[in-house]
Amino acid sequence: MMAVEVKGVSKHFGGVKALDNVSFSLRQGKTLGLVGGNGSGKTTLLNVITKMVVSNKGEVWFNDERIDTMPAYKIARLGVGRIFQTGGIFNNMTVLENLLVAANAEREEAEAVLREVDLHEKIDDKAATLSGGQMRLLEFGRVMIRNDELILLDEPFAGVSEANTKKIERVVRKLQKQGKTMILIEHDSRRIKRLCDKIIELEKGKIIREAKA
- Answer for the pair 51, 75: CB distance below 8 angstroms, yes or no: yes
Interface with other proteins, residue 52, by CB under 8 A: yes
Report CA 155 to chain centroid distance, whole Å: 9
Comparing CB distances to other proteins, the nearer of 30 and 146 is 146
Minimum distance of other proteins from residue 203's CB (angstroms): 27
The SS3 of residue 49 is: helix
Torsion, Cα of 158, 37, 170, 128 (10° steps): 30
Considering only residues 59, 97, 118, 169, which one is a binding residue for other proteins as defined by CB under 8 A? 97
Considering only residues 40, 43, 50, 176, which one is a binding residue for other proteins as defined by CB under 8 A? 50
The DSSP output letter for 128 is: G
Comparing CB distances to other proteins, the nearer of 77 and 193 is 77
Stretch that binds other proteins, among 7-15, 16-24, 90-98, 173-181 (CB under 8 A): 90-98
Minimum distance of other proteins from residue 186's CB (angstroms): 20
Dist. CA 70–CA 205, nearest whole Å: 23
Interface with other proteins, residue 125, by CB under 8 A: no
- Which residues make Cβ contacts (< 8 Å) with residue 190, sequence separation at least 6? none
Which strand (E) or helix (H) includes residue 4? strand 2-13
Dist. CA 100–CA 139, nearest whole Å: 12
Interface with other proteins, residue 71, by CB under 8 A: yes
Interface with other proteins, residue 140, by CB under 8 A: no
Interface with other proteins, residue 93, by CB under 8 A: yes
Partners of 199 in the β-ladder: 33, 211
User: Other C-beta atoms within 10 Å of 111: how many?
Assistant: 15
Residues binding other proteins: what is the number (CB under 8 A)? 23
Minimum distance of other proteins from residue 87's CB (angstroms): 6
- Residues forming the site for other proteins (CB under 8 A): 50, 52, 71-73, 76-77, 81-82, 84, 87-88, 90-93, 97, 100-102, 104, 142, 146
